């Protein structure tokens, strides 16, 4: 399955909303962002199960910057869609939704926003909503994927 992850408040914290992997001072200096504890293991596990992992964010970070941060934590993803690309594609298809994963062939999207959950019902795509404070977020994703797949 093609699975996409949101970044902000899903994998990258807004403040101290969840525990993060350790990051060196130098990495911080070079703009490597913090990442949610368990992210590397989860993504590797999903990839080992044959899933393709992608990033789908409505932030304007460059793809290069996102790739660099992920690489620091040993994460390789297939495709990165940022807001610049998202807007362009959704506009060209006349889709009035903040996100629409099927436009990028993503079968399942993981996000923190309830609004995306509402959009998923309106526009008929599959989503798993995980709250930033959810300590069992990995379990929720693994079980959610089983139910979809």
Residues 6+ positions from 101 with CB-CB distance below 8 Å: 4, 56, 107, 108, 109, 125, 126, 127
Q: Which is nearer to Mg ion, 103 or 113 (CB)?
A: 113
Of 4, 6, 80, 129, the residue at the interface with Mg ion (CB under 5 A) is 6
Q: How far is the CB of 50 from Mg ion (least distance, A)?
A: 26
Q: Check: CB of residue 97 under 8 Å from CB of residue 123.
A: yes
Interaction mask 80-119, Mg ion, x per CB under 5 A: --------------------------------x-------
Please list every residue from 9 through 28 that binds Mg ion, using CB under 5 A: 9
Tokens standing for residue 38? 């368990």
| 69 in contact with Mg ion (CB under 5 A) | no
Strands 52-56 and 2-5: parallel
Q: How many residues bind Mg ion (CB under 5 A)?
A: 4
Number of CB atoms found within 10 A of residue 79's CB: 16
> Is residue 131 a contact point for Mg ion (CB under 5 A)?
no
Q: Binding to Mg ion by residue 33, rule CB under 5 A? A: no
Q: Which residues bind Mg ion (CB under 5 A)?
A: 6, 8-9, 112
């Amino acid at each position: 399955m093609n699975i996409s992850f949101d970044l902000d408040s899903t994998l990258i914290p807004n403040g101290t909303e969840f525990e993060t992997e350790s990051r060196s001072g130098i990495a911080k200096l070079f703009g490597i962002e913090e990442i949610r504890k368990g992210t590397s293991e989860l993504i590797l596990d999903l990839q080992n199960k044959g899933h393709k992992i992608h990033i789908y964010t409505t932030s304007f970070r460059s793809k290069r910057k996102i790739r660099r941060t992920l690489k620091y934590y040993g994460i390789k993803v297939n495709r990165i869609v940022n807001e610049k690309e998202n807007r362009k594609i959704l506009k060209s298809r006349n889709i009035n939704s903040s996100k629409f994963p099927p436009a990028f062939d993503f079968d399942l999207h993981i996000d923190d926003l309830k609004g995306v959950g509402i959009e998923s019902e309106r526009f008929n795509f599959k989503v798993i909503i995980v709250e930033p404070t959810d300590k069992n977020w990995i379990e929720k994703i693994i079980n959610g994927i089983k139910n979809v797949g």
